[in-house]
Amino acid sequence: MAILNARPSLVCPAGSLRALKAAVDNGADAVYLGLRNETNARNFPGLNFDEHEIKQAVEYGHQRNTKILLALNTFPQGKSWSKWVAAIELAAKQGLDAVILADLGLLRFASRNFPDLRLHLSVQGSATNRYAIDFCVEEFGIRQVVLPRVLSLAQIRRIIEKSSIDVEVFGFGSLCIMVEGRCALSSYVTAESPNTCGVCSPAKAVRWLETSQGRQSRLNNILIDQYRHNEAAGYPTLCKGRFTVLDKTFYAMEEPTSLNTLDILPALMDAGVAAIKIEGRQRSPAYVAQVTRVMRHAIDLCYDHPQHYKVNEGWMTTLNKVSEGQSHTLGAIDRKWQ
């Protein structure tokens, strides 16, 4: 059984060195980052790290007792295998504290060639039950698993009760209607899978058009959404577009909103969650600083004084301002009938 009653680690995102420093300076226990290529699932132009920046990140984090993790969470194809292998070798060389992997072949390569490198199973690995997790523990020696955001609190609790390793869950950030690691939706529009190219909507396929009716967002020239003048416009993804269905135009698949677990933080800790993760490597350093600061305060209060824990109104106001659609939800976690 996983160790219970320990203070959960706060795992924060960084899409740049500035964002990493913001996370570290505001209380992150660990920061996860990606390389500047398709080996990670936030492969946007202008984001992520090269080898020199990773070295700086490790130095800055380790000097302040913060762990640095490499997200290597996409799936290599045969012709590009060497790029993912090189990333694992770089992680070992630079002294990163763990690599977050989804592909079973990469897990096998890393476990056999770098036995001292700590391996985490990514949310992209889609391990939603104890048997999938046990397989990766036995075959590859993974030390921590990030659970997909499709599980209820009762399911999370049952997995932790049977798990021999640390269990990590998302505590805040954008949601997706798909089971992570199994999304093929955007490939129908862009002809590129987010699981291999590292992004749901490749920047080269995104177009913005100003019209008399407002701003249009297009993905590979397909209209995804249209915004009124002065209405905030989100980055276009197919699942969060507005479409006309039976003469009504609305968010047909998913409304923009963010997961926010502040209300159930005591229950997550009681369940034995070892780490709480913030989503958002594509977001700004200001976002990282604000969310990290709030989640740090909340986790510490809940752990140090559980009998006095209640959600601070200021925390919720801050998080709602940086949430998608400026709204929040518990998503699949909140299924009381289970």
pLDDT tens digit string along 123-172? 999 999 999 999 999 999 999 999 999 899 999 999 999 999 999 999 99
Helix (H) or strand (E) holding 146: strand 144-146
Residue 189 pLDDT greater than 80, yes or no: yes
pLDDT tens digit string along 2-28? 434 689 999 999 999 999 999 999 999
Q: Which one, of 168, 180, 129, lies nearest residue 271 by Cα? A: 168
pLDDT tens digit string along 26-39? 999 999 999 999 99
pLDDT tens digit string along 49-90? 999 999 999 999 999 999 999 999 999 988 899 999 999 999
| % of the chain with per-residue pLDDT over 90 | 70
Mean pLDDT of the region 328-336: 80
> Is the whole-model pTM more than 0.75?
yes
pLDDT tens digit string along 245-259? 999 988 888 888 899
pLDDT tens digit string along 285-309? 999 999 999 999 999 999 999 999 9
Helix (H) or strand (E) holding 99: strand 98-101
Q: What is the mean pLDDT of the chain?
A: 92
| C-alpha to C-alpha distance for 89 and 67, rounded to whole angstroms | 18
- Would you state the pLDDT for residue 337? 64
Residue that the structure tokens 């505590």 belong to: 171
A 10 A CB-CB count for 150 gives: 18
Q: How confident is the model at residue 1 (pLDDT cuts 50, 70, 90)?
A: very low
Q: Which one, of 291, 312, 289, lies nearest residue 301 by Cα? A: 312
- How do beta strands 275-278 and 9-13 pair? parallel
- Would you state the pLDDT for residue 338? 63
Please report the domains of the chain, with CATH numbers, ordered by start residue.
9-175+257-333 (3.20.20.70), 187-251 (no CATH)
Residue 215 pLDDT greater than 80, yes or no: yes
Residue 150: half-sphere exposure toward Cβ, Cα within 13 Å: 15
